[in-house]
Amino acid sequence: MAQNKTPKNSTAYTEDSIKSLDWREHIRLRPGMYIGKLGDGSAKDDGIYVLVKEIVDNSIDEYMMGHGKRIEISVSERRVEIRDFGRGIPLGKVIDCVSKINTGGKYDSGAFQKSVGLNGVGTKAVNALAIYFQVSSFRDGKQKVAEFQKGELINNQNITKTSERNGTKIIFEPDPTVFKNYRFIPEFLDDQIWNYAFLNAGLTIRFNGQNYVSKKGLADLLERKTDEENLRYPIIHLKGNDIELALTHANQYGEEYYSFVNGQYTTQGGTHLAGFREALVKTIRDFYGKNFDASDIRSAIVGAIAVRVQEPVFESQTKTKLGSTHISPKGVTMRTFINDFLKTNLNNFLHRNPETAKALLKRIQQSERERKEIAGVKKLANERAKKASVHNKKLRDCRIHYNSKNDRRYDTTLFITEGDSASGSITKSRDVQTQAVFSLRGKPLNCFNLTKKIVYQNEEFNLLQHALNIEDGIESLRYNQIVIATDADVDGMHIRLLMLTFFLQFFPDLVKNGHLYILETPLFRVRNKQKTIYCYSEEEKQKAVKKLGTKQSKLEITRFKGLGEISPDEFGNFIGEEMRLDPIILRKETPIQKLLSYYMGKNTPARQKFIIENLRVEKDLDQATT
């Protein structure tokens, strides 16, 4: 009779294999469960911004309940300070509230009716993932202060008297061993804090010395996100109990939305956004008495929706997608609530504003014409793309993709490269699970001022569009990081501009949602027999020379002139955990059409002057090479 034998390479599974982690150890071991992806700060949904959000959310909840009309936020290179003027944490529970999991005031629905943070986790995650964390509560002339390191209490001060106004103050520094090479990008924090202001009219947030205040709520948000000259009609702004909407149509492609729940920016939308898109189509069809195609109604729309939900259900701890199907546990469905609101309020608005109704109709009819014009070209292009995908060597795909059906905590990346050598180096050194490569054939077409028809007529653009899966919008985007990887010379810069023009012209929402990056690759390699340092600037090179250069060791300094010169083994160092990405960020003061017209339009005197004045950049590059 055969005996059961333990395989030689197996690990014994005994009582000793069962481990129990305390709250702090679990958060530090599995941070992604609590704050999503970690990142280095180059993406707006990286963990360091989630840490800031988790603390500010608590202060916002205090304001929502009528306590404190001011929040002060300070963010330096490494330290974050957030002070609100709410009620302050009850002094006897200060330590529990920041270090005991599933502890907080938001389980009491009477104290926090429509809060964002309901699970008592957020502040504890910040505490556990901080190299230093301090909490101070000021309440009725008394204060309690406690300090932590990586979640462990290191200083428990007694309750003392104070002259400070009531409220809570949190100071923390993200742990650099968890968030490697992190940096706060001011534009991302700026957007984050403006969103809080737009959603809480009357609240003043002072961030690094600047006041953030909104009077018109979501109407202010759309004004900030759009160029007035690019709008087809003035922003429509509607408010009701537990709901606020703003919308307009612009001269652009795609759909662009900003959705919020209880003051939380739901970057992945959810049931409230789906209800908004559906109700908008139904209301418009009923108003004009025409069965317009849904895509024609929503094409070029810029919209924002904010709802207040009792006991909301989110699809993850980071609360980026709403899953609630009802406005409250015993209330109407989300779909019915939003549809009824739009049916009444948008319909009334359009009747009272015939000029806006006329402009909206023209925009829909324009989208209808454009759709029909490219219908034939689109069909042929899609057939070509399907055939090409079988033999297509332009795309070296990865195994995991980024879309609404998968766990979005995974970073999936598409590198857009030019040239066989660069594509080959990246392809050989990439992570085949999450990194794909799309190889361009020479310089792409300058598509400024061309219609979307060119996306289907141009094989390169058509195949790229299908690789990204963005033909019908970015909801099914297959890679959350689209990285332009070109040489740091004049030709490489030109290719970058041409690709930026393509994305900004036809898929601006992809750029505005923070999916587009430039890959930084080292300009120099400095090494001796013991160590190698890769340098991304002349300044870094000088520091490396100083660090490695001694009388006993001879230095070798290499200047990389192109990506193709970097071997696959070396390239692995630059597209792995230490990868440096520069996000493409659109600022309010640089409208897309003006930006593209200046750089990619006809040769204007202003641009000629700019080129002449900046010729020294190329000169400096040559000097750095020698």
Judge whether 377 lies within some domain: no
pLDDT band per the 50, 70, 90 thresholds, residue 354 = very high
CA dist 240 and 18 (Å) reads 53
pLDDT band per the 50, 70, 90 thresholds, residue 107 = very low
Q: Are 174 and 28 in the same domain?
A: yes
- Ranking 285-289, 398-402, 453-457, 617-621 by mean pLDDT, the lowest is 617-621
Judge whether 10 lies within some domain: no
Q: Which of 537, 559, 581 is the last residue of a domain?
A: 559
CB 46 within 8 A of CB 37: yes
What is the residue range of 483's domain?
Answer: 392-521+567-625
- Mean pLDDT score, 77-106: 85
Which tens digits make up the pLDDT trace of 6-41? 555 556 666 665 666 677 888 888 888 888 888 889
pLDDT of residue 146: 96
- Mean pLDDT score, 47-73: 91
Q: Are 574 and 611 in the same domain?
A: yes
Q: Are 138 and 272 in the same domain?
A: no
Q: Which of 212, 238, 272 is the last residue of a domain?
A: 212
pLDDT at 331 over 50: yes
pLDDT at 318 over 50: yes
Report percent pLDDT > 70 for the chain: 87
CA dist 191 and 333 (Å) reads 31
pLDDT at 327 over 70: yes
Q: Are 168 and 279 in the same domain?
A: no
Q: Are 429 and 542 in the same domain?
A: no
Which tens digits make up the pLDDT trace of 220-252? 999 988 888 889 999 999 999 999 999 999 988
Give the CATH number of the domain where residue 172 resides: 3.30.565.10
- Mean pLDDT score, 333-342: 95
pLDDT of residue 102: 60
Amino acid, res. 604: T
Q: Are 517 and 530 in the same domain?
A: no
pLDDT of residue 73: 97
Taking phi first (over 0 means left), then psi (-120 to 50 degrees means alpha), and beta for anything else, what does residue 503 get? alpha
Helical pair 592-600 and 605-613, crossing angle rounded to 10 deg:
70
pLDDT band per the 50, 70, 90 thresholds, residue 150 = very high
Give the CATH number of the domain where residue 312 resides: 3.30.230.10
Query: Across all residues in the chain, what is the average pLDDT?
Result: 85
Report percent pLDDT > 90 for the chain: 46
Judge whether 143 lies within some domain: yes
pLDDT at 372 over 50: yes
pLDDT at 471 over 90: no
Q: Which of 70, 50, 38, 69 is nearest to 123 (CA)?
A: 50
Which tens digits make up the pLDDT trace of 167-210? 999 999 999 999 988 999 999 999 999 999 999 888 999 999 99
Judge whether 361 lies within some domain: yes
pLDDT of residue 16: 63
Q: Are 472 and 496 in the same domain?
A: yes
- Mean pLDDT score, 345-356: 97
Judge whether 578 lies within some domain: yes
Judge whether 403 lies within some domain: yes
Higher pLDDT, 403 or 469: 469
pLDDT of residue 404: 46
pLDDT at 578 over 70: yes
pLDDT of residue 118: 46
Judge whether 7 lies within some domain: no
Tokens representing 358 are 């006329």
CA dist 208 and 178 (Å) reads 25
Q: Which of 184, 212, 240 is the last residue of a domain?
A: 212
- Ranking 180-184, 262-266, 444-448, 592-596 by mean pLDDT, the lowest is 592-596
pLDDT of residue 6: 53
Q: Are 33 and 144 in the same domain?
A: yes
CA dist 64 and 61 (Å) reads 5
Give the CATH number of the domain where residue 452 resides: 3.40.50.670
pLDDT at 3 over 60: no
pLDDT at 116 over 90: no
Domain count, the chain: 4
Radius of gyration of the CA atoms of the chain, in A: 27
pLDDT of residue 220: 94
Helices (H), 417-537: 420-429, 453-457, 459-468, 490-506, 508-512
Q: Are 36 and 125 in the same domain?
A: yes
Q: Are 351 and 497 in the same domain?
A: no
The pTM score is 0.83
CA dist 305 and 268 (Å) reads 13
Q: Are 585 and 495 in the same domain?
A: yes
Which tens digits make up the pLDDT trace of 482-539? 999 988 778 888 899 999 999 998 998 899 888 999 998 888 989 888 888 888 888 9
Which tens digits make up the pLDDT trace of 87-100? 999 999 999 989 88
pLDDT at 405 over 60: no
Q: Are 517 and 528 in the same domain?
A: no
3-state secondary structure of 374: helix
Judge whether 230 lies within some domain: yes
